[in-house]
Structure 1
Amino acid sequence: MSRKIDRTGETNVSNEGCAMKIVEYNSTLDIVIEFQDEHKYRLHAQYKDFKNGQCKNPFYPSVYGYGYLGTDKEDNIPKAHESKDGKSVATWEYLKWQSMLQRCFDNKLKEKEPTYKDVTCCKRWLCFSYFLEDLEILKQEYNWSEDIKLNLDKDILHKGNKIYSLENCVLVPQWINSLFTKNDTKRGKYLIGVCYNKQCKKYQAFCNINRKLKGLGLYNTPEEAFNAYKIAKENEIKRVAEDCVLKGYITKDGRLYNVMMGYQIKIDD
């Protein structure tokens, strides 16, 4: 009769580069490993996967070198994918998290889009599990319809903010997000909302009103044209805020409403 092998205490390094140790050995098909880092996550696995380094550590920063899945309060790894039409696809929440991390840590994107140069996120949101917890709070803040696609915005509440976090972010539809989006590459050298009309030799102001580009007249100076834009833009933001209240999407005591009603366009925006 062969003697049962006890491999408890055996160590190895996973393909991710994580140190791991067998802390319980029942058979080759039933072992418990513990990753040797500050989290000490334990995982049921087969011995062959341990030897081949195929055990996955949910605390390994696999997303852009910083983001990791983590675990919830019950020590479960959060779901990042779901089955759709027989295929495994990333969840909406995971895509939002991944996209946020790309803006924060993808150097190629930062070179292509200079507006993301100094963008980062709070330490808590490096963990997908914590991000999910906070995202539920943001979802409950307002009453957006389920068919409305929402963006995670970091700088509507705090103009010029560069840090993604629960305190700084809000979930908003694209039509609200676009109210605050600036496109410096398209507007050229002129003030925001202003262009030069060569035919009339005057400065022209324009603004998106109810999602349609509207001309606001011709002016002798860029400053005069900007002032026309400023008035129209701030009024449009207020109009959208009031419309969202009437439709029951947001409330007058919420963060978004107060910011939109007091939002000011600066000449150096």
Structure 2
Amino acid sequence: MRQHHNPFGKGITDMPTKIDGKVTKVYTLWFSLLQRCYDPAWKANNKAYDGASLHEEWHTLSVFNQWFEQNYIKGWELDKDLFGKHYSPSSCSFVPKIVNMFTTKSGRKQTNGLMAGVYRPTGVKSGRFAAQCKDPILDKNVYLGMHDTELQAHQKHVERKHQIALQLVDLYPEMTTEAKQALSTRYLQ
């Protein structure tokens, strides 16, 4: 990774970014936050980050590094999606990859034009809607039955997402209290 003294005209690189010739984890993560928030070319190809913003104090690498050192859990990923679109000390947490992927995929629009978790099975002419949910714990899509309306199918999908969220909270008690609370209530209707 090429280092920048002032990434995207916003970042302030005020500490070493390499140790023994290798770019540090904190610099790589900090740079990616700046990129997600301020690089128009990158954002054009990553629509999920539309509206993403970065806490002004985190523009300074050493300030972000202080938070990072207090909160980093090896192998876990930085997540803001549990709390919104703003990267800040109060709206970010390190979570297991399975949790980060679970919450990230939740907001994506489906290509079939239907609500999340809803599809029309091929060959079914009844006008009914099928529901499904990707279960990251089982690592498979779970079929949730046929429903009379798109909304009913979507509600079944959201109910299952809530059940999975609660299971993830139980599986990873090391998550921060704020992350567990946000995950526990994310899919309540």
Deviation at 1:233, TM superposition (A): 0.6
Structure-1 residue corresponding to 2:150: 222
> Which of residues 12, 25, 32 is equivalent to 1:68?
12
Matches within 5 A, 1:97-136: 97-136=30-69
State the percentage of identical aligned residues: 23
1:213 corresponds to 2:141 = yes
More strand by share: 1
Aligned position for 2:116: 192
Asked if the contact 1:120/1:163 (under 8 Å) is kept, the reply is: yes
Change (3 A) 1:216 1:256: same
CA distance in 2, matches of 1:63, 1:192: 36
Distance 2:108 2:147 in 1: 21
Aligned to 1:233: 161
Which residues of structure 2 form unaligned runs of 5+? none
Instruction: Give secondary structure in 1 for the equivalent of 2:116.
Output: coil
Q: Which has the higher helix share?
A: 2
- Cα deviation, 1:169-189, whole Å, max 9, x if unaligned, reads 111121001111136355431
Contact persistence 2:17–2:24 (CA under 8 A): yes
The Cα shift of 1:208 comes to: 1.8
Deviation at 1:167, TM superposition (A): 0.7
The match for 1:31 is none
State the structure with more CA Rg.
Answer: 1
Deviation at 1:265, TM superposition (A): 5.4
Tell me, what secondary structure is at the counterpart of 1:181?
Answer: helix
What is the one-letter code of the residue matched to 1:69?
A: T
After superposition, give the CA deviation of every residue in 1:23-56 in whole Å (9 maximum; x if it has no partner): xxxxxxxxxxxxxxxxxxxxxxxxxxxxxxxxxx
How far residue 217 of structure 1 moved from its aligned partner, in angstroms, is 1.4
1:24 is matched with none
TM norm structure 1: 0.62
Q: CA RMSD in A?
A: 2.0
Does the 8 Å contact 2:162/2:187 carry over to 1?
Answer: yes
What SS does the corresponding residue of 1:242 show, helix, strand or coil?
helix
Which residues in structure 2 correspond to 1:166-185 (within 5 Å)?
166-182=89-105, 184=108
Residues 1:152 and 2:78 aligned together: yes
Structure 1 gap segments, 5+ residues each: 1-59, 71-77
Distance (whole Å) between structure 2 residues aligned to residue 265 and residue 206 of structure 1:
17
Q: Is the 8 A contact 1:187 1:195 kept in 2?
A: no
Length-normalised TM-score, structure 2: 0.86
1:197 alignment partner, SS class: coil
Q: Which has the higher contact order (CA 8 A, sep 6+)?
A: 2
CA deviation digits over 1:190-239, x for unaligned, max 9?
10111111312331111122132211112221111111111111000001
Report the AA paired with residue 80 of structure 1: T
CA distance in 1, matches of 2:152, 2:8: 45
